[in-house]
Amino acid sequence: MLEKLKVDVLEANLELVRRGLVLYTFGNASGIDREQGLVVIKPSGVPYEQMKPEHMVVTDLQGTQVEGSLRPSSDLHTHLLLYREFPSIGGVVHTHSEYATAWAQAGRSIPAYGTTHADYFYGPVPVTEELTAEEINGDYVLNTGHAILRRFEGLDPLAIPAVLVAGHAPFTWGRTAADAAYHAVVLESVAKMAFVTATLNAEGAGVSQCLLDRHYFRKHGAKATYGQSSEPHK
């Protein structure tokens, strides 16, 4: 059941390892089968080098485990809320990648300082508000998702496929698990460059709306001209 998706989700998880985004068992990637309404996610705390497709955990959109004997990632309910509220996405990734996490810890959105950013994120990568004590003591993982949703009111999640959870770390997403992982990798590079940029020029104003439009729509939407086909950003 969902064999292809399990392979894709495992592969998205391993991409995070290959790109140096995760330490030990940190991080998790998931994907959804929209037709069946089922989510495939990494199990919690299993070393990446031992992970196989059959270790992936399958749940429905409310978190009821449908397949798999291992516990799902402890961040499952953040993923599920994003799938329920962002119907256009097909994959979610969470990492503690170092530079993106540092921006989240600093409580700062990542400004659109240049075209690398603009190629993938149509505006600053926003940081959420801090969760209240009530939210933390309550259903914390779910409330992390709610903090993300509040921050994305009025924003298109596919146009800005990343968020920084204040004091925590980034989440990214995309049309597929592979896309979500791809965005996590690009985000980390963008976050590192933004750190160096902000240190070199604290007042740096970032790109103009005009340049942001030009780069973003070169890779996205009906008029995209990058790559060999109309597939997004590949």
Q: Of 33-41, 59-67, 152-160, 203-211, which segment contacts a second copy by CB under 8 A?
A: 203-211
Cα separation, 177 vs 206, in Å, equals: 30
Q: Of the candidates 93, 105, 61, which has an alpha carbon nearest to the alpha carbon of residue 187?
A: 93
Provide the β-strand partners of residue 59: 39, 65
Q: Of the candidates 106, 79, 41, which has an alpha carbon nearest to the alpha carbon of residue 172?
A: 79
Least CB distance to a second copy at residue 140 (A): 5
Judged by CB under 8 A, which of 4, 18, 150, 234 binds a second copy? 234
Least CB distance to a second copy at residue 211 (A): 5
Cα dist from 140 to 58, 61, 153, 233, whole Å: 21, 18, 20, 33
* Catalytic position from the list 8, 75, 119, 179: 119
**DSSP state, 129?**
P
Q: Is 12 in the site for a second copy (CB under 8 A)?
A: no
Residue with tokens 């059959």, as numbered in its chain: 54
Residues 50-89 binding a second copy (CB under 8 A) are 70-71, 74
Residues that bind a second copy (CB under 8 A): 23-26, 43-46, 70-71, 74, 96, 98-99, 101-108, 113-116, 130-131, 133, 136-137, 140, 167-169, 182, 185-186, 189, 192-201, 204, 206-208, 210-211, 214, 218, 225-228, 234
Q: Which residues have a catalytic role annotated?
A: 119, 226
